[in-house]
Structure 1
Amino acid sequence: MDISTFLAAHQLPESYRDIAQKWFIPLADEIHEHQDSAKKPFFVGVNGCQGSGKSTLCDFLVFYLSEFKKLNVVSLSLDDFYLDKSSRNALAIKVHPLLATRGVPGTHDVSLAQTTFDRLRGYGTVSIPRFNKAIDNPFPVVEWPVIHSPPDIVLVEGWCWGVKPQTKAKLAEPVNALEHDEDPLGTWRNYVNKQLADSYQALFEQMSFWVMLKAPSFDQVYNWRKEQEHKLAAKLGSSEAHSGIMTDLEIERFIQHYQRLTEQSLETLPPQCNYVYHLDETRQITHVEKAV
């Protein structure tokens, strides 16, 4: 089986060929088996912290299932449903200043996500939302890719995708300096938790199959996120239009927004997943756990 075109398109090392063969082709084949007897489209949820490789995994699944199984596969990211800057600034004024920063539940357009899911189940054409992180705003609607629906498989990936809300007891204590200094009353984290409980669970319940890329701990996220940002900066170059690129210090503060729910997912999500890939500090898979 030749995946050379995929490796070249994604600038991946030759070693990824063995990784795909050992770990991801069996996953793709199982998704195909489930999809074959399911009503279209078959929704697959993919969870992983920042920099864990979710996007590359989903890109490979799209490539393999479309190229070798002749399926129509669509890949969505929770990131592409972020609210625009002005909407987040309005939340920052109304609820809490930390909501100006994209990332946590409450900073996504959940109704747009549900509408997109609904349209993917129907017949016709569907515009797939896309968010431009370099400028911290969605791409114009006219630039969104358009696909013919319904696809055979819909992949949905996100850093907090599938995570359950926390108890009040867990919300009481700050988990880092950001929460301690900027959310001393817990207003922000309680609002985020309420959004997660109220509107996100209905989206999660529509997934028929779950995959998790499980980091060894949250400590790895800073280094992985730095790598992501450096790659984005190198790709885009320096200009006013790319002012959303973060420095390492900004990343250090930024990822603290994600710590609470990333740790919650590492602790609570694996039992509900069909496949859990355990990663080491270098993002290499050490082993996989499959649901019986």
Structure 2
Amino acid sequence: MHTMWKGTISFGLVNIPVKMHAATENKDVKLRQLHKECQSPIKYERVCPICDREIENDEIVKAYEYAKNKFVMLDDEDLETLKKEQSDKAVEIVDFVKLEEIDPIYFEKSYYLSPSEGGGKAYSLLRSALKETGKIGIAKMIIRSKEQLAVIRIYQNTLIVETIHFPDEVRSVQDVPNVPEEIDSGEKEIETAKMLIEQLTTEFEPEKYTDEYRNALLELIEAKKNGDDVATAKDAPKTEEKATNLMDALQASLDRAKQDKPKPKQPTKRKTKTTTQKKKVANK
């Protein structure tokens, strides 16, 4: 399993060297967009609307837009310094709480924790302490250049980090439109609803829930592939190298115009009256 982060989890004077691994994966079926006429994949380019050309990676800088078209520029050194200052800190568990005290709306993503070399005993100690107390740890950590609030808990026999949203990241329910106030329902309706809930109540077995749409889509793709209902992208025709900027484009157009311009005809000599008279004298 790929290690995506290494660090130290600490509580009190106990330090646990750990490795972090993604606990979940996205299994969405990714579909490409093709040009209907030639079945070629659509290409998306990063183009500057002012310079009217494609931008390379080394030309891109990060910035924060604090007002319309007003930016604070941030260079890589600034961001790397902040990242290092935070990542050098050990992930410290600051509080222990009960899991049921945290509403599920706060939970974001799950990561497995495994002990690094020499961390097995401390890892086992924290796991046992959490199990016997029924508590989870609250900690802060840096993941992918972002500070995360997280809980550390037990999943089966493994410690797991569950990133959770900060309170200001959860939108207020007061902003949800058209939520009705409490409406008195008839006693009969409530009893019927409760009976329906009781009939559908069971133990949670995650294995019985499947993504039916994804499975059907994969079956459709496989059927079309076996039936030769496939498309092959054509090779892109070789073209002249594009002008890299406006000045190059103008110069190229000027050069082409000079080549295509017809050569001017040589002017013919007009016969003057004097010349004609000279010829007549010479013939006498």
Q: Per the shorter chain, which TM-score range?
A: under 0.3
Give the TM-score normalised by the residue count of structure 1. 0.19
Larger RCO (CA under 8 A, 6+ residues apart): 1
Point out the structure with the larger helix share. Answer: 1
Higher Cα radius of gyration: 2
Point out the structure with the larger strand share. Answer: 2
Give the TM-score normalised by the residue count of structure 2. 0.20
